[in-house]
Amino acid sequence: MKKYLVTGGAGYVGGVVAAHLIEAGHQVVVLDDLSTGFAESVPAGAQFVRGRIQDAADVLDASFDGVLHFAASSQVGESVADPEKYWRNNAAGSLELLSAMRKADVRRLVFSSTAAVYGEPEQVPIPETARTAPTNPYGATKLAVDHMITSEANAHGLAAVSLRYFNVAGAYGVQGERHDPESHLIPLVIQAALGKRPHIAVYGEDYPTPDGTCIRDYIHVADLAEAHLLALDAATPGEHLICNLGNGEGFSVRQVIDAVRRVTGRDIPAVTAERRPGDPAVLVASAERARTVLGWQPRRTDLDAIVADAWNFTLSLNEQQ
């Protein structure tokens, strides 16, 4: 049994990973300021500390075997409107966390990076060796943290893995996506299916793709969680491993809407809207490195199954409210 600090463990991805760590027999302490998370998303069995990563030194000591770092601000549009918030919370906050880890002699880290570090891709599927050219401050702050981690590994022997998620989706039982405001496609289409919004706006139908809508790589949050446990084992002192996490298969916005129609059996009005600035036409991962180096194998790749998990989670949430 190991003891891990999970920053952002009251959020969507961090909560699901914390649950997987507990199921694997580990001890988990969640550090979260509840800025976008929910105390009830912290899984049973985890110790919850309400606080900021900027104050991680108050929590960390040598009894911890490692840190899984999810805490971040992650709304692309907000990062364009208020970049300072993103540089302070994501970049400066992560610097404080790395410093607290070094002082407490906690030398193992798994970090939530993002496909947003690549920006408009030059090749698809995107390998980790692709040019990094983020098109928004959110992606730029995540790339800055990746660089910080590389220097920390080189200078002080940190064992680190950055996982660059593509489009995380689905749910793990009662743990699912609860962003407010919601910006992600699948939960938005589900809200339209429930009549909570009049329609789903399709941001652009004139992209150079088969049906004209953007293509993304949707990865099930439980598959993502399994990669984190493998990454903890693979982390090597003095090395910073970077792995993309995606299924390697793309689905268009129209295909996602059709999947939600099939799964829910509901009529979902869709209207054509303007392109959303900064959206690349196609983002699909090459996750070969995660497969070969981590031994990771995504198991929940069927789009309807991913949507069904998100739908069942939303229904369970509505029953509670």
Ligand X SMILES: NC(=O)c1ccc[n+]([C@@H]2O[C@H](COP(=O)([O-])OP(=O)(O)OC[C@H]3O[C@@H](n4cnc5c(N)ncnc54)[C@H](O)[C@@H]3O)[C@@H](O)[C@H]2O)c1
Minimum gap (Å) between residue 180 Cβ and ligand X:
9
Nearer to ligand GDU, 79 or 175 (CB): 79
How far apart, in whole angstroms, are the C-alpha atoms of residue 123 and residue 267? 36
186 by DSSP, 3-state: which? helix
Nearer to ligand X, 14 or 204 (CB): 14
The tokens for 277 are: 């600035």
Among 66, 93, 125, 280, binds ligand X (CB under 6 A): 93
Catalytic pick among 4, 12, 86, 138: 138
45 by DSSP, 3-state: which? coil
| Residue 89 makes contact with ligand X by CB under 6 A | yes
Q: What are phi and psi of 65, to 5 degrees?
A: -90, -15
Minimum gap (Å) between residue 20 Cβ and ligand GDU:
20
213 by DSSP, 3-state: which? coil
Residue nearest to ligand GDU (CB): 214
| Residue 178 makes contact with ligand GDU by CB under 6 A | no
254-267 b/e with 16+ CB inside 10 Å = b?
Answer: bbbbbbbbebbeee
How far apart, in whole angstroms, are the C-alpha atoms of residue 143 and residue 47? 30
Mention every residue, 6+ apart, whose C-beta is less than 8 A from residue 135.
116, 119, 120, 278
What single letter denotes the amino acid at residue 205? Answer: E
Nearer to ligand GDU, 43 or 280 (CB): 280
172: DSSP letter = B
| Residue 298 makes contact with ligand X by CB under 6 A | no
| Catalytic status, residue 138 | yes
Among 202, 225, 227, 310, binds ligand GDU (CB under 6 A): 202
Stretch of 79-87, 145-153, 161-169, 273-281 contacting ligand X, by CB under 6 A: 161-169
Minimum gap (Å) between residue 265 Cβ and ligand GDU:
21
CB 90 within 8 A of CB 142: yes
CB 30 within 8 A of CB 47: yes
**Contacted entry of ligand GDU, ligand X, none for residue 35, CB cut-off 5 to 8 Å set by kind:** ligand X
Contacting residues toward ligand GDU, per CB under 6 A? 74, 114-116, 167, 183-185, 188, 200-203, 214, 216, 253, 276, 279, 283
Q: Report, as residue numbers or ranges, the catalytic residues.
A: 138
